[in-house]
Amino acid sequence: MSARQERDWRLYADDILQACAKVRHIVSGMTYEAFVADEIRVDATLRNIEIIGEAAGNLPDEVTAKSPEIPWRFIVDMRNLLAHGYFSVSLRIVWDTATTQIVPLEDAVRRLIPWRRALDGSARSPLAMCPTRAPTVHHGAGRAGTGGKAMEREKRRVPASREVTARPAMGYSLIV
């Protein structure tokens, strides 16, 4: 059995949401000129856009068909370009993607996940601890029956004291 078959698609969606949150954080408050001058931020942005594309490519067709407005093929193609054609990457396109396409993608992916629609902060869903939308992150809530993987994922989350606000939904356009 392949890793794709063993892993629930909602975990790939969670990977997309987490990578989107990281990209938003990386480029927050920057200008294009400051971005291209900061090699570490460029590399971190590239890596997270690759993760988004890889996770998008692992979503089942039944899921991606529910959001035809998302250019899934372009997202995967951008990942492939970053991974295999790294020598010809346009940082202007990367910047534009990071500053104009991440929030709409994040909102669209969130709509694909039924338990995220309520935004109730429930500690029972794998995405409840996601720092991108929950009003307040809660630690220490019981997670009976979830096993060690859920606890490992929880350890990587933001501190409970950090408040997070939601962004308004935006329209979606092509990522590349």
The torsion angles phi and psi of 110, rounded to 5 degrees, stand at -60, -35
Q: Is residue 175 part of a domain?
A: no
Q: Is residue 146 part of a domain?
A: no
Q: Is residue 23 part of a domain?
A: yes
- Predicted confidence at residue 164, as pLDDT, reads 31
Q: Is residue 29 part of a domain?
A: yes
Q: Residue 5 — very low, low, confident or very high, per pLDDT cuts 50/70/90?
A: low
Q: Is residue 171 part of a domain?
A: no
What are the pLDDT digits (tens) for 114-168? 755 444 343 344 444 444 433 333 333 334 444 444 444 444 443 333 333 333 3
Positions annotated as catalytic residues are: 79, 84
Q: Is residue 65 part of a domain?
A: yes
- Predicted confidence at residue 96, as pLDDT, reads 97
Domains identified in the chain, total number: 1
- Predicted confidence at residue 114, as pLDDT, reads 73
- Predicted confidence at residue 34, as pLDDT, reads 98
CA-CA distance, 123 to 129, in Å (whole number)? 7
CA-CA distance, 91 to 134, in Å (whole number)? 31
CA-CA distance, 176 to 167, in Å (whole number)? 22
Structural domain containing residue 9: 3-120
Q: Is residue 19 part of a domain?
A: yes
- Predicted confidence at residue 41, as pLDDT, reads 98
Q: Is residue 137 part of a domain?
A: no
